[in-house]
A and B are shown apart, each in its own frame.
Chain A
Amino acid sequence: MGITTNICTVLENSQIASGIYNLTVKTHQSADAKPGQFVNIYCEGKTLRRPISICEIDKNLQTLRFVYQVKGEGTKWLSRVQAGQSLDILGPLGHGFNVSKARKVVFVGGGIGAPPLLETAKQCNFIPDAILGFKSKDFAILIDDFKKYCENVQVSTDDGSLGYHGLVTELLKERLQSDCDLVCACGPKPMLKAVAKIAEERGVECQVSLEERMGCGLGACLVCVCKVKSGEGGFRYAQVCRYGPVINSKEVVW
């Protein structure tokens, strides 16, 4: 099937944390979806679709689950869509995480960066660990979901209202003193940069999921670019939507 647009039926769309919603749709696009990929959702009256990462894929039930945060007018509209209504979804898009060769993966999710890591955790060959960081307990999401697929789930909050009082990077430093051969991270860019540095210093491969303002979502319009290393000490602009969103951290020019 590849990339298609589909008018999907919404099965569920409900708030699970402060400004954060859980959306499940019925769609054949689940058949081709891979962990870490995203879809582009049409929001009524908006010129641009909204890129939302895939949180869970159920090929049997033909469903895709998304967990998204209301950030602007598009996602505000999305949050008002009711179960039973339909959504126009383009996807699946981009390149996701590759965990097929890893023995022990540690996932690092920051805030709304956690969702795409969940399906990836499910598809690991060996049971992974997760470190999830949130602003406060009001914004904490998916902790129980990660516990289903991970051996150890550590949680940190900026204000100490839940779990460790501090940053995910501090927990990661400690975690990487023991067995791990791949770090998969998604979250704010400063977090990704710090996570990549910690992993690289310890010689552990690190895949990061990047974010940039997008246009077509397919790779044609060249607006959502990030700097990746090219040639000797040089760089080129690669499309986050097509080349990424998941990229090996060593390729990224931070």
Chain B
Amino acid sequence: MADLSVNIAGVRFKNPVVTASGTFGFGREFSQVYDLSKLGGIACKGITLKPRDGNPPPRIAETPSGILNSVGLQNPGVDWFVKHEVPWLKKYDTVIIANVAGNEIADYCEVVERLNESQVDMIELNISCPNVKQGGVAFGTSAKAAGEITKAVRNVCKKPLAVKLSPNVANIGDIAAAVESEGADAVSLINTITGMRIDINTRRPILTNNTGGLSGPAVFPIAVRMVYEVSRRVTIPVIGMGGIATWQDAVEIMLAGACLVQVGTANFTDPYAPLKIIEGIEQYLDQNVISSVTEIVGKVQIYE
């Protein structure tokens, strides 16, 4: 039996499959379907300093091989999260990743300070949400802004810190290098790609937010390319996500350079997708006589 465990910034994941932020809430709903302890980790729904209502519905539109969403960071706020959600999640033997969002750098820092005293295992800094008017992706689209916010948060953050990057940029490698140089322990990518759908009869966008973030298998090749590019620019671990729906996708993005994968939209197609992916990776490793999942990371053999 191959060793599926992965260590990132001192955090041990029993397997390399984590559910992606925004698709899995704080785990409560999916815990009705299977035992959350089977997961490598859970990246919780993005949280902000104050509770947020989110955007008016409709918040979702189906697209070829994917979806657009514009939830707009609806969440109960960090204090609720720390008091009610983290203690509940601790019942399970899985890594808890808190996803942090905000309008201003000070907000992000305040949320992180409140999380320092909680039992979350890792922080994922969301500088890439395309569905909020202020903050969010604005921090993630220039290397300078991404570096600044990483530096500020690093100064107050006592937990391992991953920064979640936006694909809506000209050169994601530059952004990754900037956050690495300011002290990020890992980068996770990709967040959703901004998109739009219009109802041709009403001439109205399907999403009330007009635009939304594209996810699902449609974005997978972009995610693979960006993980590949970033893993060659930085030395910190790369957490790969974007349209992973099968174990083959997970192996592929790990070959591109991801140490850990996150599964998001696939949870909607099949709630058991993360478990099937874990099983599939294990079988792949066993069949290929690979003793540890870490051995496949970045092992794509590029044409020169």
Interface residues of A (CB under 8 A from B): 2-5, 42, 46-49, 88, 90, 212-226, 235-237, 242
How many interface contacts (CB-CB < 8 Å) are there between A and B? 103
Is B57 among interface residues, defined by CB-CB distance under 8 A?
Answer: yes
Distance between B64 CB and nearest chain A CB, rounded to angstroms: 9
Distance between B219 CB and nearest chain A CB, rounded to angstroms: 11
Give the 10 A-B residue pairs with the shortest CB-CB distance, closest first: A220-B25, A218-B29, A223-B60, A220-B29, A223-B59, A219-B29, A213-B58, A47-B216, A3-B32, A216-B268
Distance between A92 CB and nearest chain B CB, rounded to angstroms: 11
Is B272 among interface residues, defined by CB-CB distance under 8 A?
Answer: yes
Which of chain B's residues have a CB closer than 8 A to the CB of A219? 25, 28-29
Which of chain A's residues have a CB closer than 8 A to the CB of B283? none
Interfacial residues of chain B within 110-165, with CB under 8 A of chain A in the complex: none
**Separation of A237 and B54 alpha carbons in the complex (Å):** 8
A47–B62 touching, CB < 8 Å = yes
Known A214-B60, A225-B57; judge A4-B65 contact (CB<8 A).
Answer: no
Known A215-B60, A222-B45, A223-B59; judge A237-B265 contact (CB<8 A).
Answer: no
**Separation of A215 and B71 alpha carbons in the complex (Å):** 11
Residue with the highest number of chain A CB atoms closer than 10 Å, among B62, B66, B265 = B62
The A interface, classified by DSSP as helix, strand, loop or mixed, is: loop
Chain B window 25-57, contacts with chain A (Cβ cutoff 8 Å), 1 for yes, 0 for no: 100111011000000000001000000011001
Is B205 among interface residues, defined by CB-CB distance under 8 A?
Answer: no
Which of chain A's residues have a CB closer than 8 A to the CB of B74? 222, 225, 237
Is B267 among interface residues, defined by CB-CB distance under 8 A?
Answer: yes
**Separation of A90 and B272 alpha carbons in the complex (Å):** 11
B53–A237 touching, CB < 8 Å = yes
Which of chain B's residues have a CB closer than 8 A to the CB of A223? 57-60, 69, 71
Chain B window 63-75, contacts with chain A (Cβ cutoff 8 Å), 1 for yes, 0 for no: 1011101010010
Is B248 among interface residues, defined by CB-CB distance under 8 A?
Answer: no
From B54, B67, B71, B271, A48 is in contact (CB under 8 Å) with B67
From B59, B267, B269, A42 is in contact (CB under 8 Å) with B269
**Separation of A236 and B54 alpha carbons in the complex (Å):** 9
